[in-house]
Copies of this chain bind each other. A is one copy, B any other.
Amino acid sequence: MRLSLTLFAGLLAAHTTLAAPFTDEILSQGQQLRQHAMASNRAWNLLESLTTEVGPRLPGTEADRRAVAWAKAKLNTLGFDRVYLEPVTVPHWHRGQASARITTPFPQSMVVTALGNTVGTDPAGVEAEVVAFNTLEDLKQADPEQVMGKIVFINHRMERYKDGRGYSPVVKARGRGAVEAAKKGAVAMLLRSVGTDSHRFAHTGMMRYQEGIAQIPAAALSNPDADQLERLLKRGEPVRFNLKLSSETRREQISYNVVAEITGSTHPEQVVLIGAHLDSWDEGTGALDDGAGVAIVTAAAKHIIERNLKPKRTVRVVLFAAEEIGLIGAKAYKAAHLDRLDSLYIAAEADFGAGPIYRLDSRVNEAALETMDEVARQLAPLGVERGHNHSWGGPDVSILPDEGVPVAGLSMDGSDYFDVHHTMDDTLDKVDPDALRQSSAVYTLYTWLMANAEQSLRPIPLPQE
């Protein structure tokens, strides 16, 4: 072992001198892998299997346990060197039933969904007049007298962008709206769905309570229902709304991060982590979020196995538990591996739909930019361009750069992602098989190159203040 380490160090030094981030052989094998991946249905078949045989898989549920069993069994059939589970304690929030009605002046039912973590209502529902705000900020500025005893409606419309940047300004109200509403005496919080579609699907997602602030029920209206409520309010008469939720928080459960590895041939202790999250919201089958990611990274590793190639570093596929309810699996992973995080050469997560991938971002040492630039050049035939060096790497791996772990962001075209994100409409038919194949091919080539790159990527630049 010592001999091979010395040899490897020598090779590294030699290549640094030559300023070639990859050997010709590695590049050639990478391009063959790309072609192999672009002819593969592996990712689609994995996604079809997960969404059909498991379906929705909310953390803490029986379906979540079946998802873990599915992943373990599937990874075992694929020829990885190691497949193992790492336990994660996860909250178990139960959705129950949701229903809502305008009771006056124009009675009609409304499509709502409970926000994750919300409390329920009385069986008869909570009923009150609606008071609307355009943004969370407007609610914060409001006179409490306007809000007291009412149902707050935050009517903030999400904008559509390829990179999904319309999400963050709007999602704050999902997380924080109930707390701010409760501070001013509201009895419930209704949110215009954080989504870019105009269909009667309400978009769920996590909300939070705050110690010492009343826990009021929180739900999202579908966008057409939010439009309707807006029209009703414009008529000037008081609009009364009845919201019924039977949601509740149940006992914590044990779930698992599911891990599979191809052991590195030269540096088994150095790890290229490619991740996705195995859990999903419970109303759809989690096809885009994040079955696609599971399929993309799993197929990427499998393509390397299929071609009988031996990466120098270990390739580790991590299917994280309970991302949706607060990166629970990722946090458990980080805590469990805190003393070994320097073994992570680089980490990336696929969690933004099925692609296609159009850009490679990174967070690596500036001296190693030539490595990432070369990766981008190798990915160019797949339509990928080189991006910036301040990537966050994807949700679950976003907590790793703080510990010095280099990350890459393989940016997916998310133009349509928020049409179905967190809705019951997130099903297999929404996935474009060609986009999925391209994304998996990108991950395949990326993973191969990172597992065989010559340079160290550390220390990484820290986030700018």
Contact = CB atoms under 8 A, between A and B. Distances in A.
Given A108-B63, A424-B200, A427-B200, A52 B228 contact: yes
A54 B232 CA distance: 11
A425 B222 CA distance: 10
A368 interface: no
A107 interface: yes
Contacts of A198: 429-430
A269 interface: no
Nearest to A105: B53
B427 A231 contact: no
Contacts of A227: 427-429
Contact of A108 (B56, B106, B201, B232): B56
Interface string A206-244: 000000000000000001100110011001000000000
Nearest to A99: B97
Interface centre among A48, A62, A198 (most CB of B within 10 A): A198
A401 interface: no
A62 to B, nearest CB: 8
B52 A106 contact: yes
A54 B228 CA distance: 11
A265 B285 CA distance: 63
Interface residues of A, number: 33
B53 A106 contact: yes
A285 B51 CA distance: 32
Nearest to A62: B107
A172 interface: no
Contacts of A224: 425, 427-429
A59 interface: no
A52 B425 contact: no
Interface centre among A51, A223, A284, A424 (most CB of B within 10 A): A424
Contacts of A78: none
Interface in A67-126: 106-109, 111
Interface in A402-461: 424-425, 427-430
Given A224-B425, A227-B429, A427-B228, A108 B285 contact: yes
Contacts of A428: 224, 227-228
Contacts of A106: 52-55
Contacts of A223: 429
A428 to B, nearest CB: 7
Contacts of A62: 107
A430 to B, nearest CB: 8
Nearest to A199: B425
Given A53-B106, A224-B425, 14 more contacts: A51-B228, A52-B232, A53-B235, A54-B106, A54-B108, A55-B106, A62-B107, A63-B107, A108-B285, A199-B425, A200-B424, A200-B425, A224-B428, A227-B429
28 contacts: A52-B106, A52-B231, A52-B232, A52-B235, A53-B106, A54-B106, A54-B108, A55-B106, A55-B107, A55-B228, A56-B108, A56-B109, A63-B107, A108-B285, A198-B429, A198-B430, A199-B199, A199-B201, A199-B425, A200-B201, A200-B424, A200-B425, A200-B427, A224-B425, A227-B427, A227-B429, A228-B285, A228-B427
Interface of A: 48, 51-56, 62-63, 106-109, 111, 198-201, 223-224, 227-228, 231-232, 235, 284-285, 424-425, 427-430
